[in-house]
A = this chain, B = another copy of it.
Amino acid sequence: MTSAKSTRSDAVSNRERILAVAREALRVSAGASLTAIAKQAGVGIGTLYRHFPNREALIVALYRHHIQEVIDLAPRLVATRPPLTALREWLAEVARYGQLKYGAAEVIHAATNDAEYYQPFVDAIRQLLDAGAADGSLKSGVDPEDVLLLLGVLWRIDPSAQGVGQRVERIQQLIVDGLREPVGGRG
């Protein structure tokens, strides 16, 4: 455990350089080409692809830190808010993140197919659902993965369209309502 498989120093520095360049290039234009990024980072395209097997992997790596923040927020909200409020605030943050990182939407969705990436997300959702189920404000037994799938919608809203903010809020509302424990009977 102490001595992990040694990684060559050039590989490490190349990786970092690619990430730095990519962060900036993608910020400027979500469609920046990997060829251009490699060139700007002073590495061959082959090197870029060895480090990040495809476009998605690169973007996920870039946003991993930020994604982690969103995940970490869930337990904090659960600890400090009523469950329903926690859920709502968390969804708002998720949406906000999606708006910021538009262009990463497809990527995030794709990551949904890679357990390594989405499991922590699922766990975060589970905490929120469990808290709500415990105090009766949310249904119990909801599959967090189903909710994750629904959340994906929030990333697919074009943030340059009109009335995005309100649309996001309405959709959040619809999602939350679908998760709430029906107060009366069912049809």
Contact = CB atoms under 8 A, between A and B. Distances in A.
Contacts of A185: 183
Given A153-B153, A156-B109, A158-B113, A170 B146 contact: yes
B177 A175 contact: no
Interface residues of A, number: 32
Given A150-B150, A150-B175, A182-B182, 17 more contacts: A142-B170, A143-B170, A145-B167, A146-B167, A146-B174, A149-B153, A149-B157, A150-B153, A150-B174, A173-B178, A174-B175, A176-B178, A177-B178, A178-B178, A180-B182, A182-B183, A184-B184
Nearest to A138: B187
